[in-house]
Amino acid sequence: MHPKDQSILIEHDMGRVIGNTDIVETSEKDTIFYAQPNKKSVYSRYAKNRYPSPSPKLCIVLEKDEDGNYELSDTWIGPFSPPFPGDAKETVKSKPYWETHALVQDAQMVQSKTITKDCPY
């Protein structure tokens, strides 16, 4: 690899299930709510009564530091997902993606006072 970008996303199919992803595709049958994860100010979308699903995919994000070296910034099991709307790294794909996907309800702790059924974005 000869990367040139500030940020690099690598999504790799490992050819076998390597773990579970907390991101699920949603439909109108799902019960959806929004909340801010602990220590975050951006709202995430959650689906009640859904469970993590097996995934063969691994995502890795590399960020270029001040010296021009790449450092591991983030990694997760599952397919690529854009940042949530309102995040500093939000993209044009963020809102459309998160309108049809959500985190499983117990994926992470949330700030209970921020829970809402109304979409904040």
**Residue 85 belongs to a domain:** yes
Helix%, strand%, coil% for the chain, nearest 5? 5, 40, 55
Q: Is 121 contained in some domain?
A: no
Per the CB < 8 A criterion, the answer to whether 47 and 103 are in contact is: yes
Q: What is the pTM of this model?
A: 0.86
Structural domain includes residue 119: no
Q: Are 53 and 62 in contact (CB under 8 A)?
A: no
Note the pLDDT tens digit of each residue in 44-71: 999 999 999 999 999 999 999 999 899 9
Average pLDDT over residues 38-47: 95
Q: Does residue 55 fall inside a structural domain?
A: yes
Task: Determine, yes or no, domain membership for 120.
Answer: no
Query: Is residue 103 in some structural domain?
Result: yes
Q: How many domains does the chain have?
A: 1
Q: Quick one: which H or E segment has residue 25?
A: strand 23-25
Q: CA 32, CA 43: separation in Å to the nearest integer?
A: 13
Domain interval for residue 78: 7-114
